[in-house]
Every structure is written in C-alpha cells, then in structure tokens.
Chain A
Amino acid sequence: MSRRLPAAGSALLALLAVAACAPADSNDEASSAGSSSSSSAASCAPADLDTLTSGTLTIGTDSPAYSPWFEDNDPANGKGYESAVAYAVAKQLGYTDDQVKWSTVTFNAAVQPGKKAFDFDINQFSITDERKEAVDFSSGYYDVAQAVVTVKGSKAAGATSIADLKGLKLGAQVGTTSYDVIESQIAPTSDPSVFDDNDKAKLALNNGQIDALVVDLPTALYLASAELDDGVVVGQLPQTGDAQEQFGLLLAKNSSLTDCVTQAVDALREDGTLETLETEYLTDSAGAPELK
C-alpha cells in the first residue's frame, strides 16, 4: 500500500495540473453575443469591425474552388461570381482589395463550433433554419435553383419530367441541398450516390456509374458547357416549400460582424451589383427548361 501511494499521488497531481493548465476559451462567443446586438447601431467601418486580424477582412472558402463561382481555383483573382461578390462586400464595408485575405477552409471546418479561421465564408452555403442554430448567415446573395445534368447517350438525356427521373441512378455532392432535393422531390427508386466533390461525381457520370447529377443550376450549366464531354442540362427542378433557397455568407454563431455583412449584401442587391455580377459570371439559365 505505502509503495503504491507515491505513484497514485503523482498521477493525481498530474491530472490536477492538466485541469489547471486547461486552456482558457480562445473564442468566447458569449461575450461577442452581447456586442452583436449593440453593433447594429454602431458603425460598420473597418476600424470598428472586430475582425480576425484588425484592418484585414479574412474570407474563407474551400479548395478546390469550382467554376463558375470561382475561376482557376484562385479566389483572390476577383473572378467568378462568389469571388466578385466577396470583393464587392469587402468594398461595401470599406476594405480595399489588398486588405482582403483568403483562407482555405473545408466544409466541416467552416461549420464546426469554436474559433473560426475567417471573418465570413463564401462557399455556396444554403441558408436553412436548422443550420442557423449552429452558425450565422448574412442575407442571401444568390437565389438558387437545382438542376439535373447528364451526358448525351445517358438514360437521363431524354427525360422531360420528374417522373422520367425516378427510375434512374442519380448522384449529388455530400452535404448539399441537391441531395435533399433528390430525396424529397424526385424520390428515385434506387438510393442516390453521394460524392465528396463534383470531380468524383463527374468521373462517375462519365463512367456511366450514375445516370445524372443534381447540382445548383449555374454549376449544371457550367458542367454541361465546359467540363463534361457532350454534357446536357436536362432541366431545372421547381422550388418547393415556402422559401426560395438562397446562398448566404456564413459567419460564426453570434458573430459581431453578421449585421454589418448583411447590410452590405442588402445594399449590393438594392444597387443592382448582384444582378450585374450574375449577368457577368453566371450563364443565362434560359436554356434550362423547368421539370414538372
């Protein structure tokens, strides 16, 4: 017994030491929650914004960053719809282009609790009430429609209605509302395939492992015209439910920036900037018939 005591005692001491040295919360969200309500009245100038690095706006997105949302997998070139919107928001808030810094943040890292590596993240995040319990969103900067894309010669190429798609093998990217739309609107007879990213989904489509892919409409148009050999947009899916699906900028829960960023997005919608950027970067969707 007496021989064991020192060992047990030192183990306890070590445990206590660990507990005592536990790091303090590096991102106390409770304190910033208090300031968020007051910040709506405060100024949204760069000097007053509590950004990650003072005087710099850090924007997150995943890599690879896909067209037509970004171009050449380089968010910092200002090309592509989301890159352009990000810079427009930054300008609206009073940041110059060289005060904008990009950081690569994966989907899971963007939504996990705790310290974020960005001030806001732009990566085709659809706004839903359920997600709002975990993160903040700005107001929507793009109205999304989901669309079905395939290749010539596929079983899906001749489909003209949702009923025509039911018996087919469909695919979507994991974590997307496209997957939810397959389940809720098309309800195919065989389970949909779910891919890590659009590159793997494209491979499977080219290999004939799936008949068609469901993505948001701009991505569908881009895939069909630029990425797939003999790509065809079968059509877009109708909106269901009450709310129009929208992409929003993602911020940490109770971020002090949410109000300012939302105001910036709203201003860009009102002055027509968002519409101009849409015309510039997103292919006209007139060629995609609506599936009933």
Chain B
Amino acid sequence: MSDTWTPSARQRERDAYRRRQNLRSLLIAVVSTVVIGGLLIAGMVSAPGWQRTQETFFNWDKAVDAFPDVLAGFWINVKVFGASAVCVLILGMVLAILKTLTGPVFWPVRALATVYIDVFRGLPMILLLLLVGFGVPALNLTGAPTDPVVLGCIALVLSYSAYVAEVFRAGIESIHPSQRAAARSLGLSGSQTMRFVVLPQAVRRVVPPLLNDLVSLSKDSGLISVLGAAIDSVRAAQIKTAESFNFTPYVVAGLLFLVLTIPMTRITDRISRRYGAVPGGGHV
C-alpha cells in the first residue's frame, strides 16, 4: 500500500485539460506573432524606399566602422548618468522630505523646496543646460566649475531632482495616516516614524515611476554634448554621420541605449516584486 498521495482520476483529467489549453494558447500566440511580425516586416521591406533606407540606416559596414567611437562615447553617457542618478536620488529625497514637513516653523523651508521644484521642473532641459553650462563660467566666479561635463551634470541634477522629489512626495503622502498614528503611539519620534515606517513603504511604492525618471535621465545624459563637453555616443554618431552622410551610427547609438535601459527596467521589476511593491490587497 502506497502512502504517497496520488491525484484522483478527475484531478488528472483536469490537469490534462489545463495542459492542453495552455499548449493551445501557446500555439495560437506563436502563429499570431509570426503572422503579424511577418506582415510588419513585409510591409517595411516592400516600401518603395526600403533599399535606400537599408543602405542609409542599416549599413553593416558603417555600423562596424562607427561602433568603437560610439561605444567609447556611450561610456561617457553611462558615467554621467551614474553620477547624476546618485545625486538626483539624494537631492530628490531631501527635497521631498522638506516639502512634506509639517508645522508652521518649517514654512520657509517648504516654500523654498516648492519654489525650487516649480522652477527647475518647469524649465526645458536644454535651456537649463545652456544657462548653467555657459552662464556659470561667464560669471567668472572663483571656485565655480568651468568643466562642461561637471556643469552639465549639475544642470541634469537640478532638473531631475525636481521631478524625483515629486515622485518621492507622492510616495510619502500615499502612506495612510494610521501608519504614522500607530508608529507615534508606539513611542517613535517624528523623524523615527519617517525613517522606519513611512519612507520604507513610500520608496517601494514609487519604484516604477522612479525608474521612469532614471531611464529618462540616462537618455538626457547625452544632452550635455551641447556644451561642447565630452563626445558622448550621440555626438560620436553625429560626427560619424557627418563624415559619410550615412545615418547608421545613430541606429548603433540607439541600440546601445536600449541595451542599458531595457535590463534596467527588468531588474527593477524583479526588485519591486521581491520587496512586495504590489497593490494594496496583493495580486488578485
């Protein structure tokens, strides 16, 4: 007599039915993908200008030729993005906390944070870059940075910290007041409540919109090239394109950005699942 559990005949029947259904769904999905993908490709390839487009945008030789320069430029994008991202997250968090402080004594701090966010979120990125990048050195202040890369990073941080501050604030304000009340009634101070109860929950909730801003920052890292700064991947592609009037280097640069941002998204998705950043009642 076996003491291991064996599913009943009915259960086995149900399992087999489910497997068949899954297989069928899979088959349908595959066929539908092949048909739609095939039609899209056929549509593109049969366009009257396809030959020209292929030569100008998807030229393998030009891609190979441009790749080393574009990749070297991309390393600058990654460095600028990394340095700015750290500063943006810190400054954004500080601004969000300042803006959510309660009590009349903090009014000027709240006002300052609000003005900062309104101004820097409202200015077009490129304008801010030109103003900081060429305006600050023109002041001729001793000790002020003149390196365009540093100035570019400052401009990026000014703008993106304003966006990120609002994301963090939304997270902080989404935590139910009962959480604070409970923490305070357990004897935690205001700052302890913030640090141990509110922020950990708030940050988890805003991971997806935060990633949005970081992906956007990674792409805007290339804008600092308007200051004549280091030759980033987009600028390197532009130089290569100007040599031969062939646009393939832009496609190469585009692919490099996708290689950076798509895994970033997948990793964040995984992290947020792991730390339970799920809607209030969990998945239904």
Contact = CB atoms under 8 A, between A and B. Distances in A.
A208 B228 CA distance: 13
A24 B148 CA distance: 46
Contacts of B28: 1, 4
Contacts of A271: none
B265 interface: no
Given A16-B39, A112-B56, A210 B244 contact: no
Interface stretch (A61-69, A194-202, A276-284): A194-202
Interface in A121-171: 128, 130-131, 133-135, 171
Interface in A199-237: 200-201, 203-204, 206-210
A177 to B, nearest CB: 9
A29 B55 CA distance: 14
B114 interface: no
Q: B-side binding surface: helix, strand, loop or mixed?
A: helix
Interface string B62-94: 000000000000000000000000000000000
Interface stretch (A7-15, A74-82, A83-91, A98-106): A7-15
Q: Place the interface of chain B in its size category.
A: 35 or more
Interface in B23-52: 28, 32, 35-36, 39-40, 42-43, 46-49, 52
Interface residues of A, number: 47
A209 B46 CA distance: 50
A37 to B, nearest CB: 20
B134 interface: yes
Interface stretch (B199-207, B209-217, B231-239): B231-239
Given A174-B242, A204-B228, A193 B148 contact: yes
A22 B228 contact: no
A130 B48 contact: no
Interface in B102-145: 130, 134, 137-138
B52 A114 contact: yes
B245 A131 contact: yes
B243 interface: yes
Contacts of B244: 130-131, 133-134
26 contacts: A15-B36, A15-B40, A15-B43, A18-B43, A19-B43, A22-B43, A22-B46, A22-B47, A131-B244, A133-B244, A133-B246, A134-B244, A171-B228, A175-B242, A176-B242, A179-B239, A191-B231, A195-B226, A200-B130, A200-B134, A200-B228, A201-B228, A204-B228, A207-B134, A209-B137, A209-B148
Nearest 8 interchain pairs by C-beta: A25-B48, A175-B242, A193-B228, A134-B245, A207-B137, A111-B245, A19-B43, A195-B228
Given A22-B47, A134-B245, A193-B228, 20 more contacts: A15-B39, A15-B40, A22-B48, A24-B48, A107-B242, A108-B241, A111-B241, A113-B53, A128-B243, A135-B245, A193-B229, A194-B225, A194-B239, A200-B134, A200-B226, A200-B228, A203-B134, A204-B148, A206-B138, A209-B228
Interface of A: 1, 4, 8, 11-12, 15-16, 18-19, 22-25, 28-29, 107-108, 111-114, 128, 130-131, 133-135, 171, 174-176, 179-180, 191, 193-196, 200-201, 203-204, 206-210
